[in-house]
Structure 1
Amino acid sequence: MSLRRRLLLLSFLLAVAATFAAALLLPPFIRHQAQRRAQQYHLTLQIQSVRPAWLGLRLGQVDIACPDIPSLTLHAEAIEVRRSSIAVINASATVQTDLRSFAEQVHTWRSRLPSSSESNPAKKSSALVAIDNLALSWQGFDGEGSNCSLTGLNIRDLFGGQSVDVGLVQIEHPQGSLKAEAVALAWIREPSAAIRSLGIGRAYADVSVDHELQGASSKSAAVSASDFRDRLARWASTVWAPMAVGATVRVEALEVLVRHGGQQLHVGPGRLSVQQDKTALLLDLTPRSEGAAGITFRGSLPLSVGPVVLDVVGGPIPLGALGVKEGNLGLVDVASTTLSSNAHLKLHEDGKTLSFDGKVVAKNVGLEHARLAPAPVRGLELAAKLRGVASLDGSMLRFDEGQIDIGAVQFSLRGSLDRGETSAVDIHFGIPLVACQSVLEALPPSLAPVVHGMIAAGTLSLSGYLRWDETDPKKYRFEYKADHDCRFTSVPEQVDVRRFRSVFKRKAYDLQGKPIEVETGPGTAGWVSREGFNHFIEAAVMTCEDGRFRRHRGFDHEAIENSVRENLRAKKMLRGASTISMQLAKNLYLGREKTVSRKLQELILTMYLEQTLTKDQIMELYLNVIEFGPMTYGIGNAASKYFHKHAASLTLGQSMYLASVLPSPLRQHFAKDGKVTDGWMRYLYKLMRIAAKMRWITELELEDGLGEWVVYGTPDPIRMTPMHEDEGEPLDDPSLNPPKDDPFGWQPDGSLVY
């Protein structure tokens, strides 16, 4: 072998040996240098593999940790190191603590870093550091159940650049979620590395509001209200700490879905802009939809102290342009509903109270709610001009100025409502003078279908005052004055009372409670004319249902006053104030549903009946259409079913019994032997004494009634010695105490429920 060939072979072997030696020695050397460098920043570094790359090295499966930030872990699939650049590829980071704790850990870490430029990577190295496709998972950022994730985060130059892109940001929280797509963030370097702007292509938020507006039963409600304001300030100051004065965040398409109590409200998409000044964040939200630029939501969120402010100004615009969806909060026809607003809201610094001042007008409103009407209500014209203060926990509401308009009808309201540990009400209310016809026209046909088409002349007005303090019930005051001379000059055929002079059809209910149509009226089976029943039944229904029937004009103001007092005391609807005339209006024209629609129509129809019928005519109609039991309508049918006799021959006790079941006609009070239960019979005796005191029956008739015991299925009651108020204790007859769990519906008190 020639010398030349020997030299070439030796060179080749040396190159192979050098390469082999480099392959063996380079990874430990690189790991050592990287770990030494990481220690300068109080970091630990684990590198699984080191491989040569084009003009550099590729570190594989790298784990980075910081003892000062134990909640943070970072793993990179690869880190490519070249002469003038470092690229972190397909990295994932995990944070497992809340925002405040994480900020404290970062602060501790930063405080331990040397202040010299040697330990500042931004100053020490001119190498470009890039992050390609980082995924971040932050669990518990705002307490238990809250999670934040970022995917597709790209930074072209970590220390020297000015922008960051994020493909997707998702936030999950017990009270909702947020989804933002195509997020772009930019910052400035002088005088410090501060964020300049943030852009988001599309963001979607799903928010659940679980808090009920009810009285604060403990200090916890007040604390949570205050915490809400503190949390806003904490997020503002923490998230925006690195932002420069004048920095902005822009979201090109923001959508928000708010959920509460089974209802939801969708808003968006809209353009959101947030700008930082020296003390607060300034928010500006404008709907993106075409034709919706006329309304703007502007707010101010302080970075530390101060109130949170929101102004909603503009319109009219369609609700659909705001992003409100059909069915949100029971809204229908959102495309044709328009909204105008000039409202100012302020959440005070204490975080407990919200001030409101402004006017909102909504036209052609459509609503669907079971408590409003059986079918969707369309065409409402609404406006509200309000100024006052409310507590976030729902314990206090004060109106310094209040006016609510429905069509041409104005409702004035001024006063306060307290629902804390004790309740109190102090309210002035009223309706300024308005034409009666304007009231009818303010009710769209879908809200008041039965009275639609009625025409009335005259005017009406209302003024009143309500005061109630749970701690001093004796100072209860409820006064109101209703003046009207409404006269109905024309009514639809189905309302005209003249149709009740002959056979007519009306709604009734079968044994399953389903509505059916029945035929009734003069000449039908079971119909009883005014001359066909004695005065006992009239005395009985007046005693049980409406003691001032002969004196009022359809509405018993004293009963209304007592009803309001009892309902306030019970903090729920416990007692009504329905008169015989009102019950007749309901039974002739309306159904059983408990809705605003039925009540409004009931009031109007009661006025009409009182205007067109005499009291005797009202009583005759009432006794012939009222329900006395399952599928038992009218006094004639009731007398026949219960006592096998005609209405004209009912005794005082039998009449009192029939009247006593009117509030709950499906529940009867007969024992198994047919006799009225002991407790209920004593109640009937009490009713008889009331009727005598009102002089609706004579003392002799009372004495006779106190000597009867009503029995089901027989014309004649059991006769006995009259039972006076001071005689004896309640009877203990075993026959009146049915066995428990009786399959036929007998109740422990001896009554029978059908």
Structure 2
Amino acid sequence: MFRAPTRPKERMSFGVIRTAFLARVRAVPRNAWIALGAVAFAIVFAAAAFGPIVRARIGSEAAKRRLEVSVGGIRPGFFAIRLKDVQVRLAGVQGLEVRLDDVRVGISGGLGLREITAQGGGIHVEGEPEDLVDRLRAFRKDGPASSGTSEGSSRTPVTVEGLSLAWKMPSGGELSGDHLRFVREGDSLRLAGAHLSANHQRTTIRVTDGDVELGTDGSLRRLNAVAIEVEQAGDPAAKQAATKATATVEPAPPPLPPPTPKGKGARAKPAEVVAAPNEPVLPLPNLQALRARVATLATSLGTRVPDGTKVDVGGLSVKLDVGGEPFAFGPGPFGLERRGDLVRLSFTSEKNDAAKDESGRSAGTPLSVDAEIPLGRGDVTARLSGGPVSLALLGVPEGAKGLFDVGRGTVSGKGQVVLDASGETLTFDGQLALRSISVKQPRLSLEPIKRLDFSAAARGVLDHEGRLRIDDAQLDMGALHVRTHGTLEETTDHFGLSLALDVAPASCQALLDSAPEGLLPTVRAARMSGTFGATARIAFDTRTIDKLALEYVIDDRCKMTEVPTDLSHERFENSFTYRIYHPDGTLGEATTGPGTPAWTALDEISPFMVAAVLTTEDGAFYKHHGFNHSAIRNSVAANLKARRFVRGASTITMQLAKNLFLSRDKALSRKIEEVILTDYLEQAFRKDDMMELYLNVVEFGPDVYGITQAADHYFGRRPEELSLPECFFLASLLPSPNRYGKLREKNAQVPDSWMHHLRALMEIAEKNGKVSHAELETGLAQEVVFHKPGEPTPEPRKPLNTKRRDPYEDDANWQPLD
């Protein structure tokens, strides 16, 4: 279709526009201009009077509510008032101030409050939480004067966004937050924030994207958060007090050993030990106090958590310092819900998708813990179920409690604990399995332990009087299966136990193979034959400790068929090197053995030296097979009566195993290997061979190892020249050689108090038949004089010709192991 061309639009110049506008103005009647001017004047006058009127109204309403409010600027709007730089304080409450940058007050057609919205600002708080709470309570108790407002106006919707929070406490705590949002609508309050961090008394809490709904009375209705992190550090003051050095005092002699009983089957009377009744052996929870704490928690929940309340935290993580050791779990979903008079708590880990069963299918399920807390009377129940879940998914960090490679280690379990309504009984029934656990824990082993697999199960009842009944408990680790049942009772004045133990028979080699890598490093490479099993029963009460019942049957048929070179008998037939410890704790090496200057054959050592160590260290050395069962019983009785470790039952064979092959650490690893190697020594060595080795490697003082060096260091003599009291002095050093050996540095001869101790030991040796009456009389009349560096060498003594007694003559039925 044909369309005619159009003319381009002409541009209007500024002059044209001005001319048109003036023409229109001249057309307006004069009386209209007068009316318009009056309106303009009224608006200007109202605006000038508006600010003072609003400020007066704000001051009046604030005074009714005992508030101090200042406003920087006021501007009217369309059915609204805009306030700038508003500051609010509570009258009489110091350390609390709210600042709002921009406030919009909406007004209805009837000039009533419609809504209040604010943007930007901050809350500034100073003071300790307890002090601030007391001030707020006093403020509420006094109560603001009647506001005269209606119910509707008291619930005016309020929204505040973009707030920051800064709370400083004189004790060093602080609370901070940003992007906070506050909403009051109807009968509820909502608080939300992108980040909130609190630090008070070594506890830190961090909340990410939290959203809380409260009732007007402050009760909790709902809480949601993407993540909550809780960290609690240890008390540095407590750690410093625990590590505070004690003053050095002059050492006292070790306690005297009991006389060796005469006659077959006789038992030595245990030495008297002072009990420590206030030191618990196995601290058990106080159920009444626990139930009281639960009741307090229930009261708080009942007051602050109305029926229907729900709390959902997407990721709760907790890091605590427990006794100086880190403990952690999470993140994982956490929930709290109240239904009627019951509050349910739950925590669930993430699913371990890497866990597979034998067919290759996913075997991992989340590990969940839930608890039910009644708000009134009722049982408190806690349950565990699920797994296997890796320690990493549970939130256990590398290094916590010495754990490492936490991504491989898994945990699974199921069980239930119930605390009854009266707080009189706590029942438990559950099992826990740990797989591929790796840990660096000096109490277990000096070497890292890898791929530890074990499971434990137990069921029983604990009552409020301190009685624990174990109906059945079992520990499984590879071929090792240990089962037990019994009762335990502990109060402030006594401790009692009745326990039966059973170790299922198993191949010795299978038991050795069941030990995780790093637990038995010294004997791991050995090969064993035979089987091992055991049953035991122990029953006692510290009020009647002499009635201790300790019965055990050990079916030990284990025998080492192959041993590493370091353990072989041939190693000690010539020169050999072994580990020693210097006074500062650093490691060193010493060389000894037949043919070396540091070695003295047993026949060339004073026979009094053998008599001395048999008196002080192991009176039944030539009779037992490595373990002194009478000494074990006495040690158990003494330690239980004292409720702490006061006496060991180490034999010369056990000490030799430690000196030749093991370190001095007190780890479980060393104790187990000490038992295994003691059994091995008794099988592979004659008694005299072990005595000879023992006297040539044992420590007699700071950097003094072996009888050859000891005889020269203390007395400037050869081992064969030593007198009876000199031998007993050397033997008296063995319980603590580094400490007792310093007597030589401070004295020219053995102090009177120590000589009194030596004479008592020699009298015990005479009663036990280790020395004759004539030898005792001679020894009692002799003094023990030290030889110091730079002094002339004492006159040599004629080697003693006293024949050593036959160590086997007291028991004709006993035969040594070859």
Shorter chain as denominator, the TM-score bin is 0.7 to 0.9
Aligned to 1:119: 151
Per-residue CA deviation, residues 288-346 of structure 1 (Å, 9 max, x unaligned), is 36626432222223345545432221111211121111111121221111111113234
Pairing 1:360-375 to 2, within 5 Å after superposition = 360-375=432-447
Q: Does 1:460 find its partner at 2:492?
A: no
Q: Secondary structure at the match of 1:201?
A: strand
Q: Give the aligned residue type for 1:463.
A: A
Q: Does 1:130 find its partner at 2:159?
A: yes
Aligned to 2:737: 665
Per-residue CA deviation, residues 411-457 of structure 1 (Å, 9 max, x unaligned), is 34445556653341314142323223343233223111101122231
Q: Does 1:21 find its partner at 2:27?
A: no
Unaligned runs of 5+ in 2: 1-25, 108-113, 240-277, 354-363, 788-792, 798-818
2:495 to 398, 419, 424: 424
Q: How far apart, CA to CA, are the structure 1 residues paired with 2:439 and 2:657?
A: 25
1:240 to 270, 286, 305: 305
More moved, 94-103 vs 625-634:
94-103
* Cα pair distance change 1:440/1:98, threshold 3 Å: farther
1:159 is displaced (CA, Å) by 2.7
Aligned to 1:282: 344
Q: Give the aligned residue type for 2:118.
A: V
Q: Does 1:46 find its partner at 2:69?
A: yes
More moved, 272-281 vs 89-98:
89-98
Unaligned runs of 5+ in 1: 719-754
Per-residue CA deviation, residues 352-397 of structure 1 (Å, 9 max, x unaligned), is 98654311111122222232222322222222212345699x9886
Aligned to 1:494: 566
Q: Does 1:174 find its partner at 2:201?
A: yes
Q: Does 1:639 find its partner at 2:693?
A: no
Q: How far apart, CA to CA, are the structure 2 residues paired with 1:248 and 1:194?
A: 12
1:553 to 625, 642, 649: 625
* Cα pair distance change 1:57/1:103, threshold 3 Å: closer
1:587 is displaced (CA, Å) by 0.7
* Cα pair distance change 1:221/1:93, threshold 3 Å: farther
Q: Give the aligned residue type for 1:467.
A: F
Asked if structure 2 preserves the Cα contact closer than 8 Å seen for 1:458 and 1:486, the reply is yes
Aligned to 1:729: none
More moved, 585-594 vs 412-421:
412-421
1:532 is displaced (CA, Å) by 2.2
* Cα pair distance change 1:711/1:252, threshold 3 Å: same
Aligned to 1:684: 758
Q: Give the aligned residue type for 1:46.
A: V
1:238 is displaced (CA, Å) by 3.8
Q: Secondary structure at the match of 2:150?
A: helix
1:554 is displaced (CA, Å) by 0.8
Aligned to 2:8: none
Aligned to 2:669: 597
Q: Does 1:266 find its partner at 2:328?
A: yes
Q: How far apart, CA to CA, are the structure 1 residues paired with 2:152 and 2:135?
A: 21
Q: Does 1:711 find its partner at 2:782?
A: no
Q: How far apart, CA to CA, are the structure 2 residues paired with 1:29 and 1:104?
A: 33
Aligned to 1:205: 230
* Cα pair distance change 1:193/1:662, threshold 3 Å: closer
Aligned to 1:253: 315
Asked if structure 2 preserves the Cα contact closer than 8 Å seen for 1:228 and 1:351, the reply is no
Q: Give the aligned residue type for 2:778.
A: D
Q: How far apart, CA to CA, are the structure 2 residues paired with 1:411 and 1:173?
A: 46
* Cα pair distance change 1:97/1:433, threshold 3 Å: closer
Q: Secondary structure at the match of 2:392?
A: helix
Q: Matched residue pairs, number?
A: 703
Q: Secondary structure at the match of 1:697?
A: coil
1:32 is displaced (CA, Å) by 4.0
Pairing 1:478-517 to 2, within 5 Å after superposition = 478-517=550-589
Q: Secondary structure at the match of 1:445?
A: coil
Q: Give the aligned residue type for 2:493.
A: T
Asked if structure 2 preserves the Cα contact closer than 8 Å seen for 1:537 and 1:656, the reply is yes
Choose between structure 1 and 2 for higher RCO, CA contacts under 8 A separated by at least 6 residues: 2
More moved, 220-229 vs 72-81:
220-229
Asked if structure 2 preserves the Cα contact closer than 8 Å seen for 1:200 and 1:252, the reply is yes
Q: How far apart, CA to CA, are the structure 2 residues paired with 1:549 and 1:715?
A: 34
Pairing 1:32-111 to 2, within 5 Å after superposition = 32-34=56-58, 42=65, 44=67, 46-55=69-78, 56-64=80-88, 74-83=98-107, 84-90=114-120, 92=122, 97=130
Q: How far apart, CA to CA, are the structure 2 residues paired with 1:687 and 1:238?
A: 71
Per-residue CA deviation, residues 681-740 of structure 1 (Å, 9 max, x unaligned), is 22222222111111122222222222222222365799xxxxxxxxxxxxxxxxxxxxxx
Per-residue CA deviation, residues 584-617 of structure 1 (Å, 9 max, x unaligned), is 0001101222222211111110011112222112
* Cα pair distance change 1:502/1:69, threshold 3 Å: same
Q: Secondary structure at the match of 1:628?
A: strand
Asked if structure 2 preserves the Cα contact closer than 8 Å seen for 1:45 and 1:62, the reply is no
Q: Secondary structure at the match of 1:167?
A: strand
Q: How far apart, CA to CA, are the structure 2 residues paired with 1:346 and 1:485?
A: 44
Per-residue CA deviation, residues 179-234 of structure 1 (Å, 9 max, x unaligned), is 11112356999xx9997643211211113577999759x9x999975664345324
Aligned to 1:750: none
* Cα pair distance change 1:687/1:214, threshold 3 Å: closer
* Cα pair distance change 1:174/1:476, threshold 3 Å: farther
Q: How far apart, CA to CA, are the structure 1 residues paired with 2:36 and 2:328?
A: 74
* Cα pair distance change 1:174/1:417, threshold 3 Å: farther
Q: Secondary structure at the match of 1:601?
A: helix
* Cα pair distance change 1:457/1:193, threshold 3 Å: closer
Q: Secondary structure at the match of 2:204?
A: strand
Q: Does 1:409 find its partner at 2:434?
A: no
Q: What RMSD, in angstroms, separates the aligned Cα atoms of the two structures?
A: 4.3
Q: How far apart, CA to CA, are the structure 2 residues paired with 1:378 and 1:582?
A: 27
Aligned to 1:741: none
Asked if structure 2 preserves the Cα contact closer than 8 Å seen for 1:250 and 1:274, the reply is yes
Q: How far apart, CA to CA, are the structure 1 residues paired with 2:424 and 2:51?
A: 61
Pairing 1:320-339 to 2, within 5 Å after superposition = 320-339=392-411
Give the greater-gyration-radius structure (CA).
Answer: 2
1:14 is displaced (CA, Å) by 3.9
Q: Secondary structure at the match of 2:595?
A: coil
Q: Give the aligned residue type for 2:151.
A: S
Aligned to 1:744: none
Asked if structure 1 preserves the Cα contact closer than 8 Å seen for 2:454 and 2:478, the reply is yes
Give the percent of matched residue pairs that are identical in Structure 1 and Structure 2.
30
Q: How far apart, CA to CA, are the structure 2 residues paired with 1:465 and 1:708?
A: 46
Q: How far apart, CA to CA, are the structure 1 residues paired with 2:484 and 2:200?
A: 39
Asked if structure 2 preserves the Cα contact closer than 8 Å seen for 1:47 and 1:59, the reply is no
Pairing 1:560-599 to 2, within 5 Å after superposition = 560-599=632-671
Asked if structure 2 preserves the Cα contact closer than 8 Å seen for 1:233 and 1:305, the reply is no
Aligned to 2:5: none
- Structure 2 length normalisation: TM-score? 0.75
Q: Secondary structure at the match of 1:370?
A: coil
Aligned to 1:376: 448
1:463 is displaced (CA, Å) by 0.7
Q: Secondary structure at the match of 2:620?
A: coil
Q: Secondary structure at the match of 1:264?
A: strand
Q: How far apart, CA to CA, are the structure 1 residues paired with 2:230 and 2:117?
A: 33
2:504 to 433, 448, 458: 433
1:634 is displaced (CA, Å) by 1.9
Asked if structure 2 preserves the Cα contact closer than 8 Å seen for 1:122 and 1:159, the reply is no
Asked if structure 2 preserves the Cα contact closer than 8 Å seen for 1:89 and 1:131, the reply is yes
Q: Give the aligned residue type for 1:387.
A: R
Q: How far apart, CA to CA, are the structure 1 residues paired with 2:711 and 2:587?
A: 23
